[in-house]
Structure 1
């Protein structure tokens, strides 16, 4: 039998290795930007075409490379940062393993121009499928210009796994933001298909955050800064009012390297305990400076997960730093003793007191009990007291209460209904049907109690409404467009760059669902109309919440873009617990719920109601 084990060719080995480092265009963007930072650049420009599938170009004014270094940089595990094993534990640069350029060259067509300040001519290299096609001197500026074209051109199966341009562009923006945040002293720009997305001037960390996250954070950031011998923590957290219902702007950096850490996120959440709702998430951008020997960053191909030598100490420092910052800047619930401006404008406050009104006030027994010495406890006899009319509220009137007429409506807007039976697929079990000759009852402003011929059911109002909205929006997205309510005064929404890309992707589907939104310049949209059931004046918040829920939509099943959008809108627009419903509103909701083909669960499988039968109730009471 011949031997069957053999060495892989270099180009195939490089393509396999590239699968760990270059998963999508955003992965290459991250590596190229970090290389530019390591080169000491103060100006870094990123240019992409077709979300990086056709072109990714990074231009920097760093120190550049010699001809030999430029050629060696594309070899696997060629690096200038590691010379012995101890260097692994003292890494302060972004890259160190020498995998990035070799991996990129294995799956794309790469061109590089680079020049050092002391050299007269630079070096041009063209590489395809890990093989050098051309290498020659060239005239270029000091620094490096690297172009990556036609990603995965030689691995078409992997190219087919890439998402839409809008989805891939969102990932590129995420990676760009993470690098730009970590180095506010460096100028960054991002241009996509000829349109500039970011233009970030060098400045302070707060200026960089406002440039990226939006001007609405300008007065809503709390400075965090704690220096110790073991580590330093600095950055910003958002005030409690900036908390969102989904995980939004949350960034951790360790030695200027972005990381993901559920453990440290828990420390920040604990610092905000009792200051924000339990289902809300605070905004934070926190930097941790620690001795490189105390961490291990070589545990994941993307280097976004690291290991700490002592996680508990880091956790305690982060939590204490955030708590101290919030307390120092008095970011805590407090009583507002300032007088409301509306009250100050009342006539009773502005009008000067006359002698007649003063005499009337000072002559009253109530006034005397407060101003005369030792009279605060005094209560006049009932027949003389000016407060005796309050007793009338507790005296029976002697008149019997009159029942309401069948067609009479109560003050609360509740109407008594004629005998009515509601049937639906979920309640057609023999003689078991829902009846409404008994009015519905709302319990704890969260549940609806409805009688049946065989007991009663308890309906969760939010989850029932979510099912109703999901069915309505599903019909709309599949051809039956929803009506749009035009806004008399259109509102303007300014979004971040990532949200702008997402909004442009969702605009056609949002229009089908009743939203009339139009682009209005860079990162700005005008809301001309919304679905008829959206409360006017709440359009901006509704759209922002929709984008947040869509971005952080979580499910074990991968849904299409339209399905995710419909589920997010249904979940967002459903009535929340705590909202009081009239009898008419409860009846409409129950009718629409049992008109559904699947009334017993929400789209994600959560029950909308629970059934209680008479025999079950009898057993509970021992009968």
Structure 2
């Protein structure tokens, strides 16, 4: 038998799509405040939204009838006919958010219009109005969501840690606040104010206030107007690109949205400017005729369909490419690098190319060791690592000897050298911290800032003397013994470690943590070595105990004998 579900059960099911976590609630409430014409929005959160999410605004407010009906499913003031769907400019229009939130929490709403002497207070629990009474309250709305998912224990159990949920809250807060620089926003968590964004006239000022002034210094303006879409905003300098996502923001008609397709359009002009896996920062606004886009794809309203998607792709790509060219973000020529040599591609399916070695491979073999046991079996001495003939080819160092070619992975070699340098220090209960000559202030993304502060003790175990400065900044007074003090390298190492923290790669064993630190430090060194630096790297690698193996796995080098080369050609 088919039954029509009761309203409260239908709302509970719908809440599964609209209310995924505390950050989802915050997003809907902040967007409602903007639609109400507020120019001052304050957010208060406790326990990363599990206990309390409160939003106070000075918008238009509601009368008693609207305050009661707003918790009904599909109750909205934004649209009234099918034609309205083709010209949506407001954030909300589906009329599902408050009904879904009230289905999985206890909600208290206080609101008053400017023309009313008194306001109204409404209590709603499990989609049912429990109380409605007159109350003295300021113009606008105060909406408080308590005990999120109290009646759905399974949903509550699957929430992440407080730090993780707070990062999501900050992320959603930023996505909304960035779109409206003329509105004042504040965010307070557990009675500690995290953000106080003043109203500003220029979008770039809001980026500076939310993401940090250091990021703004690396941005270039984008501005292209066409009959189909206007593209404006900022893209990052290729040298500031990261291997972790964090500062990628797309907006259409003032609404944040996600689009792998448009993301690809933005990244395409960077193809020859970035190393593999890097992603540039960008803050791009697309302004288009609302009748040519569809925002009614998903209840969360973070997906958008464009009528002329391919054309918009090309326009965005051209706009970004023009900006990169105008700001001279072009590849530089490294005259230290040896000429490119094209090695023939060897098919994996060609069995005649696979030649088993005539002798067993010894991972402890050091071709530059003249005093060890291996030196006695060599018929001809190999050249010293200080004078050997080598050159840098892409990601590899190719060293030539009388017996063949030694191919060294720059990344893996650096990992091994860093590992052997860091391990003795990290194995101590209190690692040695080398004090920096001057305190080093580093600006992080909001998400990375919170993650860093939550894990100050972890960074201490690595040898970082790191402290919070607030407003997305941290200051370093000391570094792990043996680490370079070069600012860009330190900043990139911190970001790589934060990425490892997110993936749960820290905290297992001292060896694993040392390998993670070594990998992060190696990844932060984006430059390829000069010939002299390559000479030194090979020498340091050969001094390591397990020089043939990288701490995170894989070989640091391989040797192709002259006999093997003869069989390949």
Q: Calculate the TM-score normalised by the size of structure 2.
A: 0.80
CA distance in 1, matches of 2:193, 2:381: 60
2:397 is aligned to 447
The answer on 1:514 being equivalent to 2:463 is yes
For the 8 Å contact 2:389–2:401, the answer to whether it is kept is no
1:146 is aligned to 143
Q: Could you report, residue by residue, the CA deviation over 1:116-151 in whole angstroms, capped at 9, with x for unpaired residues?
A: 112222111112232322221111111111111122
What SS is found at the alignment partner of 1:166?
A: helix
Shift of 1:35: 0.8
Q: Could you report, residue by residue, the CA deviation over 1:195-234 in whole angstroms, capped at 9, with x for unpaired residues?
A: 2211111122122122122223555443332333322222
For the 8 Å contact 1:448–1:461, the answer to whether it is kept is no
| Range with greater deviation from structure 2 (194-203 or 230-239) | 230-239
The answer on 1:592 being equivalent to 2:522 is no
Quickly say closer, same or farther: Cα 1:139–1:264, change in 2 above 3 A.
same
Counting only pairs closer than 5 Å after superposition, residues 289-304 of structure 1 correspond to structure 2 as: 289-304=287-302
Decide which of 206, 213, 216 is 1:215's aligned counterpart: 213
Q: Could you report, residue by residue, the CA deviation over 1:37-85 in whole angstroms, capped at 9, with x for unpaired residues?
A: 1111111111111211211111011111121211121122222223233
Shift of 1:94: 0.7
1:317 is aligned to 315
Shift of 1:181: 0.9
Decide which of 83, 88, 93 is 1:91's aligned counterpart: 88
CA distance in 2, matches of 1:194, 1:592: 51
What SS is found at the alignment partner of 1:419?
A: coil
What SS is found at the alignment partner of 1:418?
A: coil
CA distance in 2, matches of 1:149, 1:99: 18
Q: Calculate the TM-score normalised by the size of structure 1.
A: 0.74
1:188 is aligned to 185
Quickly say closer, same or farther: Cα 1:477–1:149, change in 2 above 3 A.
farther
CA distance in 2, matches of 1:133, 1:474: 62
Shift of 1:417: 4.7
The answer on 1:419 being equivalent to 2:378 is no
CA distance in 1, matches of 2:536, 2:273: 37
Shift of 1:530: 0.4
Shift of 1:173: 1.0
1:541 is aligned to 488
2:409 is aligned to 460
The answer on 1:106 being equivalent to 2:55 is no
For the 8 Å contact 2:44–2:54, the answer to whether it is kept is yes
CA distance in 2, matches of 1:458, 1:334: 26
Q: Work out the number of aligned pairs and report it.
A: 521
The answer on 1:487 being equivalent to 2:436 is yes
CA distance in 2, matches of 1:566, 1:73: 55
For the 8 Å contact 2:500–2:506, the answer to whether it is kept is no
What SS is found at the alignment partner of 1:182?
A: coil
Mark the structure with the bigger radius of gyration. 1
For the 8 Å contact 2:391–2:399, the answer to whether it is kept is no
Quickly say closer, same or farther: Cα 1:325–1:449, change in 2 above 3 A.
closer
CA distance in 2, matches of 1:501, 1:546: 17
What SS is found at the alignment partner of 1:74?
A: coil
Q: Which structure has more RCO (C-alpha within 8 Å, separation ≥ 6)?
A: 2
1:305 is aligned to 303
The answer on 1:559 being equivalent to 2:504 is yes
1:230 is aligned to 228
2:248 is aligned to 250
Shift of 1:609: 3.9
Q: Could you report, residue by residue, the CA deviation over 1:527-557 in whole angstroms, capped at 9, with x for unpaired residues?
A: 1210112113x2x4344323443566699xx
For the 8 Å contact 1:113–1:123, the answer to whether it is kept is yes
| Range with greater deviation from structure 2 (607-616 or 231-240) | 607-616
1:570 is aligned to 518
What SS is found at the alignment partner of 2:160?
A: coil
Q: Could you report, residue by residue, the CA deviation over 1:320-355 in whole angstroms, capped at 9, with x for unpaired residues?
A: 33344455x5545699xxxxxxxxxxxxxxxxxxxx
Q: Could you report, residue by residue, the CA deviation over 1:423-456 in whole angstroms, capped at 9, with x for unpaired residues?
A: 9xxxxxxxx99x997645574343366999x998
1:391 is aligned to none
| Range with greater deviation from structure 2 (108-117 or 478-487) | 478-487
| Range with greater deviation from structure 2 (576-585 or 139-148) | 576-585
2:360 is aligned to none
For the 8 Å contact 2:493–2:521, the answer to whether it is kept is no
| Range with greater deviation from structure 2 (184-193 or 480-489) | 480-489
For the 8 Å contact 1:214–1:496, the answer to whether it is kept is yes
For the 8 Å contact 1:550–1:565, the answer to whether it is kept is no
